[in-house]
Structure formats: C-alpha cells, structure tokens
C-alpha cells in the first residue's frame, strides 16, 4: 500500500499523519487546534523541507498561534472585521476578542477541538475528515453550524483541503471561509518566484479594511522574484480552473507549489511576515470585513450546505 495514516507525537503535540510511502511526502494535522495543517513536507536530498510552517511544541503553539494564525481555519469570517462589529437581520453584534488594532480577526474556530470523523486509506490516496459542531458559543455569532474539514493526500504531491459548512440554525446565517497557511520553500522569500492570477487588488485603509473598490494591478501576473516587496493585500482572482491561481517557486532547489482553488474561493490574501522566511497565501471565499461590505459574503439558508476546496500541487522543475 502506498499510503498510511498514523498517530504521531512531535514534542508534546498530538498529530495525525498521512504519508505517501512512495514519495516520502507527509501531511500532519493537529485536530485539537482548529484542525490546522501542521506540516506538508517533502524529502529533498538528505533533508526534509517543511513547505507549510507549523509550531515547535505546545508552548510555541499557545504563545504564537493567536498572533500568527499559521495554518488556521478561518470561519465563520475571514481576516479583519472593522471594530469587531457587524449587523445581520437588523441586529447588531460585537466580538469581545479583538486584535490590537481593534478589529476582530480570522474568525472564531482557530483554537476549537475538532473530532475525527473518518480515516480512509486507498492505493492512490489517503484522507482524514474532521468536524466541529459550533453551538452558538460566542454571543457575537449566535448561529449554529457544523463544519467538516477533509485532508486528502494523493499521488504526485497533491494535497486537497475540502471544507463543508452545514447551517443548523433554522434561519439564514452569514458565512465566509478561508485558510491561513504560511509557505516556505527553503531560504528567504526574496529569491522565490511568485505569480497569481489577478489584475484586481482590493483597496484597503490603514487598518487593512476594504474601502469598497478595486484597484487595477499587473504586478506578479507573470512569475517574478518577490524581492523586497511587502505584501499585506487581498486580490480578486480571475475565473478559471485549468491554470493555477498562484504559483510559488524556489529557483535554488527547483521546488514549486501551485495552488488551485475552486470557484468558492475567489479571493487571495497574500502576506509577507517580517522575517521573510515564508509567505502566507490565503484562499478566501470573501474579502476581509465581508460581514459589513458584502464582498463575497455568503448568506446560507437553513439546512443548506456550502463547500470550499483548494488543491496544493508540490513538484520540481
């Protein structure tokens, strides 16, 4: 059998691991912390490259996860919400937990414990499905829903992340979904080649809240070195499934990551952290602050499902 699923321990973190025994590619998931993707790694020569940044141990997770949100599942809203406030159905709500800039940020499920629904191993792939039943724990989001997250590792360095949201509220609910992975291809981001399929940049104010209009852009439409470019931007993707929405490549080692979201993820948020050893490329169903500006906001009817999917393709040039 080419794949297996095992329970692993990294320092004091309890992880589920999917392994491609042929290529050596590994995926590690941390169910207890929002079903986060802790590792997507590949052997290269005599070393293993961690393509997705995770956490060193439980202390690192507790200290830095609420700040960096590396690999967090973003639900039921993405990125920033202005003042942590929004109105829905004629009622106003305000989140108590806020970022230092006064915004609510990255949803409310990033640290919730997900349960394992299924582990499945086949000849050409293996998958793990996890679930969290949100039951109105936060007064600022008094809507019940179930969310499932499925990780599938396939042959050829393909990792698929699928999310499904089921409205259990008996009323319409506002919803958005996204991921917050930090990708690293070895070395510094400045020398990597980046491209993304967008000619529209969401205009932000100084607090990274959309102003309601788009700005034309041609930067990085074709692969070019990141250089000293600083990103903290959101882009509207051009439609199309045959071409990657974004590619990231390290010419030094030939490692390349291609990202293929489905149509449910029309936005791409890109961020470069200060150490410039990684880059966050986030697939989003809406723009930031969509509960207020409506840019991509989904209003999900009672007992209805909404699914979101993205494929990460890892290979060499």
Res. 193 pLDDT band, cuts 50 70 90 = very high
Q: What is the mean pLDDT of the chain?
A: 95
Q: Is the pLDDT of residue 265 over 90?
A: yes
Please provide the CATH number assigned to the domain covering 3-316. Answer: 2.70.98.10
Q: In the chain, where are the structural domains located?
A: 3-316
pLDDT digits (tens, 9 = 90+) for 127-175: 999 999 999 999 999 999 999 999 999 999 999 999 999 999 999 999 9
pLDDT of residue 239: 85
Q: Please, which pLDDT band fits residue 43 given cuts at 50, 70 and 90?
A: very high
Q: Is the pLDDT of residue 1 over 70?
A: no
CA distance 176 to 73: 11
Among 3-12, 53-62, 112-121, 237-246, top mean pLDDT goes to 112-121
**pLDDT digits over 214-246, tens only?**
999 999 999 999 999 999 999 999 987 678 999
* Exposure b/e, 256-289, CB count within 10 A at least 16 = b: bbbbbbbebbbbbbbbbbeeeebbbbbbbbbbbb
Give the C-alpha separation, 69 to 50, whole Å.
17
């Amino acid at each position: 059998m080419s794949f297996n699923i095992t329970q692993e321990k990294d320092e004091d973190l309890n992880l589920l691991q999917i392994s491609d025994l042929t290529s050596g590619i590994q995926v590690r998931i941390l169910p207890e912390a929002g079903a986060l993707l802790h590792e997507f790694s590949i052997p290269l020569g005599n070393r293993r490259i961690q393509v997705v940044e995770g956490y060193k141990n439980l202390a690192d997770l507790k200290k830095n996860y609420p700040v960096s949100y590396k690999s967090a599942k973003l639900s039921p809203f993405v990125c920033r919400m202005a003042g942590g406030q929004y109105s829905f159905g004629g009622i106003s709500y305000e989140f108590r937990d806020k970022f230092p800039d006064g915004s609510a940020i990255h949803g409310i499920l990033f640290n919730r414990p997900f349960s394992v629904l299924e582990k499945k191993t086949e000849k050409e792939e293996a998958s793990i499905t996890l679930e969290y039943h949100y039951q109105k724990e936060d007064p600022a989001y008094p809507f019940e829903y179930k969310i499932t997250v499925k990780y599938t590792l396939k042959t050829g360095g393909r990792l698929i992340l699928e999310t499904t949201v089921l409205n259990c509220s008996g009323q319409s609910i506002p919803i958005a979904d996204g991921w917050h992975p930090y990708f690293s291809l070895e070395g510094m981001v400045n020398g990597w080649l980046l491209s993304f399929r967008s000619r529209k940049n969401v205009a932000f104010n100084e607090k990274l809240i959309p102003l309601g209009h788009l700005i034309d852009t041609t930067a990085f439409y074709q692969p070019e070195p990141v250089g000293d470019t600083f990103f903290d931007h959101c882009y509207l993707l051009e439609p199309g499934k045959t071409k990657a929405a974004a590619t990231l490549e390290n010419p030094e080692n030939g490692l390349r990551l291609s990202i293929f979201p489905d149509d449910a993820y029309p936005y791409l948020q890109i961020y470069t952290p200060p150490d410039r050893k990684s880059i966050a490329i986030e697939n989003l169903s809406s723009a930031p602050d969509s509960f207020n500006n409506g840019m991509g906001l989904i209003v999900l009817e009672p007992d209805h499902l909404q699914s979101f999917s993205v494929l990460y393709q890892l290979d060499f040039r």
